[in-house]
Structure formats: structure tokens, C-alpha cells
Structure 1
Amino acid sequence: MARVSQAHLDARRRQILDGAAVCFARNGFHATSMQDVLKEVDLSAGAVYRYFGGKEELIAAIVGEVLDEVRESFEEEGRHSPPPPPDILVSSVFVRVHSSRAYLTVDGRPAFPRLVIQVWTETLRNAELAAILNEGYSGVREVWGRIVVAYQEAGMMRSDVPPDHVARTMIAVVLGFLAQQSLFGPAPVDVLRDGLRALMSVSDALPGA
């Protein structure tokens, strides 16, 4: 029997994860069955269960993969000395993560923002998924904290605000933008970039002071 290459195994795993992501974004986790996933990816039960034991494992794998990519993207940007300003850094990471899944669509619209909303709601009842999400966000917060310290040391940002406060705020900005895309439709990343740039331009000094 011919040996299956690692490239083939990786491609099959990718096929299953992508199909599951589209199903979850379309109907939510509870309304999606493994039969729905099998139909979406056009594979047998044996082929899918070789990689994942069920919906819970699929959800965990999708969430973990996205959070790892976000963290790694911020780490890469943060290696610059100093790092790019927040408007450039956040928008470039957003484009990278979003673009890597742009081929996933539901009713002609990007599936990724809708999937994020589904993940949030699922964490309210799924303690295992909540733990994965918490660990992933902690990693992103840690990276952002280091970026803020680099800003402060370079004199690019005021130093009297704890780095973690800034990190939490920037994560909230990105998640809020994704939520808006899910609820109100796609918006170009320029909206996020320009909005951050405008906020960064606000001066502490009052007009006329």
C-alpha cells in the first residue's frame, strides 16, 4: 500500500477544518451536526474521525489555530524596533489573519466574523473551549504588553498607563470590529486603521488652553 504523504494529510485536515468552520458560521455550533460537516467536506465519517473525534475537537482546533496565528502575527510585527504604530500594526495583522480565511464564505459573505461571534456564545456553556480561548487571549495580551513597553521606551506612548490596560483595549478594538462586520456586513480594514489613527491624534491639551 502506498504511503500517504504528510502534505496529503495536512491538506485533508485543512479541508475538514475549513468545512467545519463554514458550517459553524452558517448555523452555529448547536444546530450543526457531524453529518452536516461530512456533507460540507464530502468525506466519509471514517476519513473525518481519523483526524477529529467530534464537534468539540473541531471547535477547539479552529479556535486554537486562529489565536495562534493572531499571536504569531503580533509577535512578528513586534520584533521591529520600535514596533509600527498601533494603527499600522493592528490593521496589518487583521488583514493577514482575515485574508488567510477570505476563501471561506457563507451566503457570499466572509465566514470568519460570524465564526468569531459563534465562538463567543459557545464559551458561555463550554468550559473547555472557554479555557482554550482564555489561554489564547492571554498569549495575545502578553505580546501586546511587550509591544506597549517598546512604545513607551521609544517615547511613542505615554508611560503612566499600565501596558496590560492598553493590550486589553487593543484586543477589544479588533474584536469589536469583527463583531460589527458580522452584524452589519463587511467593512474595509481602512475603517479600523483610520479610526485608530484619528484617536491617536487626540491631544491631552484642551483647545485654547
Structure 2
Amino acid sequence: MARVSQEHLDARRRQILDGAALCFARNGFHATSMQDVLKEVDLSAGAVYRYFSGKDELIAAIVAEVMGELRVAFEDAARQSPPPSPGDLASDVLDRTLAAREVLAVDGQPGFPRLIVQVWTETVRNEELAAVLREGYQAVLAAWIKVVGGYQDSGMIRTDLPAEDVARTMIATVQGFIVQQSLFGPVPTEVLRNGLRALMSMDAVRAAG
């Protein structure tokens, strides 16, 4: 029997993750059964369980993947001198994340924000998922701290305030934007870019006046 290529295995795993994420975004975690996932991806139970033991493992894999992508994006930004401005960086990363998950559209609207909010609420009951999210958050936070350090080294922002405080605030801003998308419908990330640009300009405008 011919061996299955790694490319085929990766593609099948991608198919399962995307199908499960779409089901979760559409109906929520608790209303989605593994039978729903099997129907969505049009695979047998054996084919799916070869990769994932159940819903909890699927959710954890989706979370780990997203957090890993965010960490890499911010680490790449931290290596630039100076890093992109907060507005440009946050909106560009969100744009790429949303574009990479267009498959999650529900009724013509982005499903990714809805999925993320569900993940956050699910961590209240699922300690394993909470641990995955905490680990991912700490990695993203560390990357953002490096970005803020780059801002401080370049004289873009004040140096007398802890970089971690700024990093946590930036993450909270992006999280809040995702919540708005989930609750009130899609909003262009240009809104986030413009808002952060305006806030970053306050001291310069005051000094010029």
C-alpha cells in the first residue's frame, strides 16, 4: 500500500479544522456535534478521529493555530526598526487573520470574530482550553512587549511607563474590536487604524498648539 504523503495529511487536517471552525462559528460549540463536523467536512468518523479525538481537541487546535499566527506576526514586527505604528500593526494583522479565514463566513458575514468570542466564553468551563489560551496569550504578550520596546527605543512613545502595560492595553484594544465585530457586525479595520493613530497623536497635537 502506498504511503500517504505529508502534503495530503496536512491538507486533510486543514479541511477538518476549517470545517469544524465553520460549524462552531455558525452554531456555537455546544450546539455542534461531531456528527455535524463529519457532515460538514464530508469525511468518515475514522478519517476525522485519526486527527482529533473530539470537539475539545478541535477547539484547542484552532485556538493554538490562531495564537501562533498572531505571535509570529508580532514577532516579525518587533524585528523591524522601528516597528510599524500600533494602528498599522494591529489593523494589518487583523486583516491578514480575517482574510485567512474567509471560509468561516456565516450568512455573508465574517465568522471569525464570533468564533473567538465563543472561545473566550468556553474557557470558563474548559480548563484545558483555558491553559491553551493562556499559553498563547503569554506568547503574544511577550511579542507585543518587544514591539513596545522598539517604539520606546525609537522615541515614538514615552519610556517612563512599563512596556508590558502598553502591550496589555494594545491587546485589550484589539480584543475589544473583535468583540464589537462579533456583537454588532463587521467594521473595517481602518476604523481601528484611524482610532489608534488619533490617540497616538494627542501629545504631538497638544505640543504644536
> What TM-score comes out, normalization by structure 2 length?
0.96
Shift of 1:203: 1.9
Q: Distance in 2 between matches of 1:191 and 1:71?
A: 23
The amino acid across from 1:8 in the alignment is: H
Counterpart for residue 175 of structure 2 = 175
SS in structure 2 opposite 1:186? Answer: coil
Q: Which 5+ residue runs of structure 2 have no aligned equivalent?
A: none
The amino acid across from 1:197 in the alignment is: R
Q: Distance in 1 between matches of 2:69 and 2:144?
A: 14
Counterpart for residue 5 of structure 1 = 5
Shift of 1:189: 1.1
Q: Give CA deviations for 1:140-164 in whole Å, capped at 9, x if unaligned.
A: 1111111111111111110111111
Report percent identity of matched pairs: 67
Q: Distance in 2 between matches of 1:79 and 1:16?
A: 34
User: Would you say how many aligned residue pairs link Structure 1 and Structure 2?
Assistant: 209
Matched, 1:41 2:80: no
Counterpart for residue 56 of structure 2 = 56
Preserved contact between residue 22 and residue 103 of structure 2 (Cα < 8 Å): no
Preserved contact between residue 25 and residue 104 of structure 2 (Cα < 8 Å): no
Shift of 1:206: 6.1
Matched, 1:156 2:161: no
Counterpart for residue 141 of structure 1 = 141
Shift of 1:28: 1.2
Counterpart for residue 120 of structure 1 = 120
Shift of 1:29: 1.0
The amino acid across from 2:156 in the alignment is: M
Counterpart for residue 19 of structure 2 = 19
Matched, 1:91 2:95: no
Q: Distance in 1 between matches of 2:9 and 2:120?
A: 30
Q: Distance in 1 between matches of 2:207 and 2:10?
A: 58
The amino acid across from 2:26 in the alignment is: R
Pick closer, same or farther for the CA change 1:207–1:145 going to 2, 3 Å: closer
Q: Distance in 2 between matches of 1:56 and 1:95?
A: 27
Q: Which 5+ residue runs of structure 1 have no aligned equivalent?
A: none
| Two-structure CA RMSD over aligned residues (Å) | 1.6
Q: Distance in 1 between matches of 2:208 and 2:138?
A: 42
> What TM-score comes out, normalization by structure 1 length?
0.96
Q: Distance in 1 between matches of 2:67 and 2:47?
A: 26
Pick closer, same or farther for the CA change 1:203–1:187 going to 2, 3 Å: same
Pick closer, same or farther for the CA change 1:2–1:208 going to 2, 3 Å: closer
The amino acid across from 1:186 in the alignment is: P
